[in-house]
Amino acid sequence: MPKKARRDKRGSSPVRTGPGRISRRVDSVKELLARRAPALTRVTAHAERAQFWTEWLSQHLPPGLRPRISGVVERDGTLVIFAESAAWSARLRYSVLELEAQIRAAAAGLTAIEVRVRPR
C-alpha cells in the first residue's frame, strides 16, 4: 500500500515552516507598553498625584495623624483623603479644615476636599 501524501497525515502543522517564512521582529516590552500609552498615562498620572498628596500631607499634618491616613485620591477636582477609622476621620477632618487654604494653594484646580473612612 502506498504511503499517504503529507497533507493527509494527522499531527502535521497547517502552517508552513521553513525558509519561505517571513521573519517578524520581536517587540520589546517597552514598545508594547508605549502602544498602550493613553491608558497607562492616565493610571500613572493618578499614581503620581496620589504620591504627591501623600507626601504633602505627611509634611503638613500633625505627626499623630500621618500613619492613620489609609489613602489619598484626587479625581474630578475633588481631593479625597481616607482615614482608617471614623474616630481618626473626625480628627483628620478638623486638621484638614485648618490646612484648607494651603491645600488649595498647592493645587489650584481643587473644588472640594473630602475626608472618608477606608480601613486598611
Instruction: Please state the domain extents for the chain.
Output: 28-117
Predicted confidence at residue 50, as pLDDT, reads: 93
Mean pLDDT by 10 residues, the chain (120 residues): 64 59 69 71 85 94 92 93 95 94 92 93
Q: What are phi and psi of 78, to 5 degrees?
A: -115, 130
pTM recorded for the entire structure: 0.67
Q: Which CATH architecture does the domain made up of 28-117 adopt?
A: 2-Layer Sandwich (3.30)
- The 3-state DSSP class for residue 104 equals helix
Compute the distance between CA of residue 96 and CA of residue 81 in angstroms, rounded to an integer: 9
Interacting residues of 97 by C-beta distance below 8 A, sequence separation 6+: none
Ordered strands of the 69-75 beta sheet: 69-75, 78-83, 112-117
Contact between 111 and 77 (Cβ < 8 Å)? yes
